[in-house]
Amino acid sequence: MNIRLLLLLLLAAIPLETMARIKLITLPVRERVEIQLDSAQATLVEEERIVPLIKGVNQVDFSWANTRIDSDSILFRMLPAQSGSEVDAKVLSVSYPPNENALVWSVGADRSGSARVRISYLLGGLDRSFHYRAVATKDESSLRLAQYLRLKNHSNESYAQSRLWVGFGDQLQRPVGLNETKDLLLKHYDQVQVQKRYSVDVNEYGYIQAAKKKLKVPMHYVLKNDAAHGLGQVALPFGKVRIFQQDGKGSTTFVGEDWGRFTPRDDEMELYLGVARDIVVKRTIERRERNKISGNLYDYDVVVKYEVENFKEKPVMLDIREQLPKLRAELGLTNRRDVQWKLGRDTTLPAGPDPEKSDADRLLFHVDLTPQNSSGKVQKQVYKLHLVLQNEWR
Amino acid sequence: MNYPRHIIALLFVLLGCSGIASGNNLDLSTVPDRERVQLTIYNSEDLTLVRETRLVSFKKGMNPLQFSWANTLIDPTSVELEFRGQAGRLEVLDTTFPHAKPQMLYWNVRSEENVEVRIEISYFTSGISWAGDYVAISNPEETTLRMEGFVRVSNRSGEPYANAQVRLVVGKINLVEKIAELARMPVARVQAMEKREYTKLRQKVARKMMAPAVAMEGLVVMDMEESAVPKQVEKEGLGEYFIYTIEGRESIPDGWSKRLRSFDAARVPLKVVYRYRKGEYGDRLVRLYLLQNDKKSGLGITPIPNGKVQIFRHNGREGLSYLASQSIKYVPIGDRIELNLGVDPEVVFELIKERVSRDNIWIRLNKGRVYKRVGDGSFIVDHKGAVAGWDERQQFNQRIRNYTGQKILVEIRRSYPGDVTFRSRLDANSHDYRSVEYTSEVAVGGRVDLRHEVITRSGYNAKQQQVKVVGG
């Protein structure tokens, strides 16, 4: 134990500099420890100790050799007595000896007795992170999501029984040993509705066969952090998600892992599982017409064509995304102005852009793909996005 | 950890009247003890004015006094000797800085008779500093906070000061030299570099501070036994400065620091505000505690000096949650204190650009060209031209979602370069010629969409460099 609290049995008049000679000390033990992990910036440790005080001035020595305590953060707070025999004690001053990780509190007490104190400090080397384990059902319609806290203790200090709190959920009571890494189950969500999302975005995901203009079609699990989808109680912290799938034979198969970004409530956590090979999307720019308005001012008539084939045996939804400044650059038009656009009448994509996920720079369309028929024949679905890029000039 | 023997020493040298430059190798000396010490510490500079009194017996005639300060950080040009009482009967005839001993001087004092006199020696030293720091703990509901202020005095001067009256000066004084640099030089070099301005300014500044101070003889000396109640730190204004005087006496050994409570305001009213101001807080929405350094808040007795603030919140289970730590700048009485807690992950702040269009486009025409088709002889006149001016209309939605347990107030300030009209149905105002600000409350679990249009006149159309706020 590198962190020590000593009560020095001194006469009040003995000055601090003579302390090294004092051998008679008491060691108030930790009655309770709370480790507050709710801040992403720092870990706050709170130790509760019962300190016997004598009437008058008491010297309480606190030292933290070989640990990374932020000495500016150390607080000494008197707590209300539980037994009712309360000593009125106050910190009079704090002295910091040279070249030592230590301090000495001068504590004045109105009478002799025990005082319940809480010592708080920010401790480096005691770090937390989060990770998840997801087990999807065989039909991938839902999953069981377990959320874990990973605690790495390189602080050079151990805590026998400490209460851990991450800012949400219940407190956990566990010992934290030296140089230990602990994974602690925080919460599990049993019925999380999951959406399999197939999407194409030439700028974000690129091509799987560039020469043939065939796009990469990544597949994501999408977990919406709301009550309707079995979540929504708190924001989901950043962390790695390991994904397994039930194989229908009582076991599970590991199907991939991804970093889950910090997901506020009502937002979606997208987990990349790999590229779907049985959905083929060919994207070509079918039309690029320049229409002069005046001088060097033009409108551009652009049609992007998507030829989609679903070799799966079941229908799926495909998300088609376009980033308009990148599309304009692809057409050979480069300037720093925003893109002014409107949908043209030759658009054949069903419905309009998703209003929640589309804006001035991004368009998202959802397309239902029909599966191959019973004879194995695949229907090629052709969709066109007709855009008029307006008021462009070099 | 005993105090080392005092490094600063005053020796009453028992020599003949021939003075100190006698070349004798054997001197007989007496060492008058320090009676009282007063430290006035200026935190803005590495400067402390030390005044110490000693009782010295003078014989009639010449009395050599030796003052030395080996291994300390005293400015040798600042050492002064004054006599308390016996006015006119004692006189410093000369001061000598021996070449061989750089951290020493001799005074030759002429006394008209045998007399015991209290002398006061004052000098500047570096290596003693003080700093403010603060602990702010809000209640669980974040309606009030307890704010404690502390002063920490650190002694790295090479000299222990026991039983000293400690005074701390809040404010920035003007100095023309750094004491620590002077202390390491032989006095001859220091004197060679001295300028009239140097002496005038520095001595004037710090000694003037001392002028209205309570005379040390008038101080109530505390018992050596430490009191069981916290010491008070008295504050008094002095011109552009404030002086904190720590009650009673303090002993600060060399190398040690001591921290004392300066104030304790138990229930400071607190306002929680979320702000977006890119220039002040970066490109993010931050959460702030706002409080006031005034008497209504239990503060406002003095300005609050620069210092680090550790900010916590009671978690309702006798424990604390760490929120942030930050440095605050000097806060005058009555001014607002801002504690920046950073981004709140429970509040989602998104600026969505919904639509862009351009209109009011002007073309600058150049000389036209005429083309004739071979065959039918038809003509086309093509006027060459380039876009010279246009208006760009950007429609934005400032969306805010509140997942905290309380209704929140959000203040947004954005700057727009160029000739801009800001059009919205928000209650928006100009902050300055290029910034617009507006506020919104967001209910618990609520979402607001603050839609507005920014019209930027560019090129030939730009006639101003300011933003105009209009409704609609």
Residue-wise pLDDT tens digits, A110-150: 888 888 889 999 999 999 999 999 999 999 999 999 999 99
Confidence (pLDDT) at B209: 43
Sequence letter at residue A196: K
Q: What is the model's pLDDT at position B228?
A: 66
Contacting residues of A for B401, CB less than 8 Å apart: 264-266
- What average pLDDT does the segment A16-22 reach? 46
CB B439 within 8 A of CB B429: no
Q: Confidence band (pLDDT; 50, 70, 90) for B205?
A: very low
> Is pLDDT of A25 > 60?
no
Residue with tokens 């269009």: B357
Residue B262 confidence class, pLDDT cut points 50, 70, 90 = confident
Mean pLDDT of A266-281: 96
| Segment among A24-28, A231-235, B107-111 with least mean pLDDT | A24-28
pLDDT at position B55 is 87
Instruction: Compute the distance between CA of residue B67 and CA of residue B108 in angstroms, rounded to an integer.
Output: 11
Domains and CATH numbers, chain A: 3-123 (2.60.40), 126-275 (no CATH), 279-392 (no CATH)
**Which tokens hold the place of A161?**
């029984």
How close, in Å, is residue B451 to chain A by CA atoms?
13
Predicted ipTM of the assembly: 0.90
Given CATH 4.10.860, say whether it is the number of domain B8-37+51-125.
no
A55 near B CB under 8 A: yes
Q: Which residue has the higher pLDDT, A341 or A57?
A: A341
Q: Is the pLDDT reported for residue B97 higher than 90?
A: no
Q: For residues B206-220, give the mean pLDDT.
A: 37
The pLDDT of A227-236, averaged and rounded, is 95
What pTM does this model have?
A: 0.85
Is the pLDDT higher at B160 or at B13? B160
pLDDT at B3 over 50: no
A168 touches chain B (CB under 8 A): no
Rounded to an integer, the average pLDDT of B86-108 is 83
Q: Is the dihedral of CA A75, A78, A82, A87 positive or negative?
A: positive
Q: Which of A94, A361, A390 is facing B259, going by the closest CB pair?
A: A94
Q: In chain A, which residues have their Cβ closer than 8 Å to the Cβ of B4? A: none
Mean model confidence pLDDT for chain B: 82
> What ranges do the domains of chain B cover?
8-37+51-125, 128-265, 268-346, 348-471
Write out chain B residues lying below 8 Å of A57, CB-based.
225-228
CB atoms within 10 A of CB A346: 13
Segment A256-273 shows an average pLDDT of 96
Residues of A in contact with B363 (CB under 8 A): 294-297
Counting residues of chain B whose pLDDT is more than 90, the rounded percentage is 42
Burial tier of A66 (Cβ tally within 10 Å: 0-12, 13-18, 19+): exposed
* pLDDT reported for residue B218: 30
A358 and B CB contact within 8 Å: no
> What is the three-state SS of chain B?
CCCCCCCEEEEEEECCCCCCCCCCCCCEEECCCEEEEEEEEECCCCEEEEEEEEEEEECCEEEEEEEEECCCCECHHHCEEEEECCCCCEEEEEEECCCCCCCEEEEEEEECCCEEEEEEEEEEECCEEEEEEEEEEECCCCCEEEEEEEEEEEECCCCCEEEEEEEEEECCCCCCCCHHHHHCCCHHHHHHHCCHHHHHHHHHHHHHHHCCCCCHHHCCCCCCCCCCCCCCEEEEEECCEEEEEECCCEEECCCCEEEEEEEEEEEEECEEEEEEEHHHHCCCCEEEEEEECCHHHCCCCCCECCEEEEEEEECCCCCEEEEEEEEECCECCCCEEEEEEECCCCEEEEEEEEEEEEEEEEEEEEEEEEEECCCCCCEEEEEEEEEEEEEEEEEEEEEEEECCCCCEEEEEEEECCCEEEEEECCCCEEEECCEEEEEEEECCCCEEEEEEEEEEEEECCCCCCCEEEEEC
Shortest distance between the Cα of B169 and any Cα of chain A, in A, equals 20
For the stretch B302-322, pLDDT in tens is 888 889 999 999 988 888 999
What pLDDT was estimated at residue A334?
A: 83
Contacts of A359 in chain B (CB under 8 A): 352-354
Residues of B in contact with A391 (CB under 8 A): 357-358, 361, 390
Q: For a pLDDT cut of 70, what percent of chain B falls above it? A: 80
To the nearest whole angstrom, how far is the Cα of B370 from the nearest Cα of chain A?
Answer: 14
Cα distances (angstroms) measured from residue B173 to each of A95, B46, B203, B204, B240: 28, 11, 11, 11, 9
> Taking CB atoms and an 8 Å limit, are A235 and B386 in contact across chains?
no
Of A237-246, B23-32, B118-127, give the lowest mean pLDDT range: B23-32
Instruction: Measure the CA–CA gap between A201 and A304, rounded to whole angstroms.
Output: 12
Q: Is the pLDDT of residue A389 over 90?
A: yes
State which residue of chain A sits closest to B257, comparing Cα positions. Answer: A96
Summarize pLDDT for B427-442 with one digit per residue, the tens.
999 999 999 999 999 9
Q: Calculate mean pLDDT across residues B291-295.
A: 94
pLDDT value of residue B148: 92
Write the Ramachandran bin of B316: left for phi over 0, alpha for psi from -120 to 50, otherwise beta: left
CA distance B435 to chain A (A): 22
pLDDT above 70 (res B135): yes
Q: How confident is the model at residue A13 (pLDDT cuts 50, 70, 90)?
A: very low
Confidence bin at B350 (pLDDT 50/70/90): very high
Evaluate if residue A348 carries a pLDDT over 90.
yes
Highest average pLDDT, of A62-71, A238-247, B80-89, B99-108, comes from A238-247
Q: Is 80 exceeded by the pLDDT of residue B215?
A: no
Lowest mean pLDDT among A129-133, A290-294, B416-420: A290-294
Distance from CA of A311 to the nearest CA of B (A): 36
| A205-209, A288-292, A311-315, B97-101, range with the lowest pLDDT | B97-101
Confidence at residue B341, expressed as pLDDT on a 0 to 100 scale:
97
Whether residues B356 and A338 touch (CB distance < 8 A) is answered with: yes
Task: Say which range, A63-77, A190-204, A361-375, B191-205, has the weakest mean pLDDT.
Answer: B191-205
Cβ <8 Å between A92 and B383? no
User: Between chains, do B259 and A93 touch, taking CB under 8 Å as contact?
Assistant: yes
Min Cα distance A291 → chain B (Å) is 15
Predicted confidence at residue A24, as pLDDT, reads: 47
Residue B192 has pLDDT above 90, yes or no: no
Whether B29 has a pLDDT exceeding 60, the answer reads: no
For residue A391, give the nearest of B321, B352, B361 by CB distance. Answer: B361
Chain B residues with CB under 8 Å of A18 CB are 1-2
Residues of chain A in contact with residue B226, where contact means CB-CB under 8 angstroms, are 12-13, 57, 92, 106
Residue B198 has pLDDT above 90, yes or no: no
Cα of A363 vs its chain's centroid, Å: 27
pLDDT at B167: 86
Q: Are B459 and B412 in contact (CB under 8 A)?
A: no
Can you give the pLDDT at residue B313?
96
Q: Count how many pairs of residues, chain A against chain B, have C-beta atoms within 8 Å.
A: 170
Whether B178 has a pLDDT exceeding 70, the answer reads no
Kind plus residue range of the DSSP H or E element containing A325? helix A324-330
Which pLDDT value is given to residue A21? 37
Beta-carbon separation of A90 and B230 below 8 A: yes
Whether B8 has a pLDDT exceeding 70, the answer reads no
Pairwise pLDDT comparison (B176 vs A24), residue with the higher score: B176
Q: Which residues contact B189 (CB under 8 A, 6 or more apart)?
A: none
Give the C-alpha separation, A211 to A215, whole Å. Answer: 10
Q: Per-residue pLDDT for B18 more than 50?
A: no
Task: Report percent pLDDT > 70 for chain A.
Answer: 93
The pLDDT value recorded for residue B222 is 31
Q: Can you give the pLDDT at residue A264?
A: 95
Buried b (16+ CB within 10 A) or exposed e, B219-254: eeeeeeebbbebbebebeeeeebbbbbbbbbbbbbb
For the sheet containing B8-14, what is the strand order? B28-30, B8-14, B61-69, B104-111, B90-96
Within 8 A of B227 by CB-CB distance, chain A residues are 57, 92, 108
Lowest-confidence range among A265-269, B184-188, B200-204, B373-377?
B200-204
Q: pLDDT tens digits, residue range A59-107?
A: 888 999 889 999 889 999 888 766 666 788 888 889 999 988 999 998 8
In this structure, how many other beta carbons lie within 10 angstroms of the beta carbon of residue A205?
A: 16
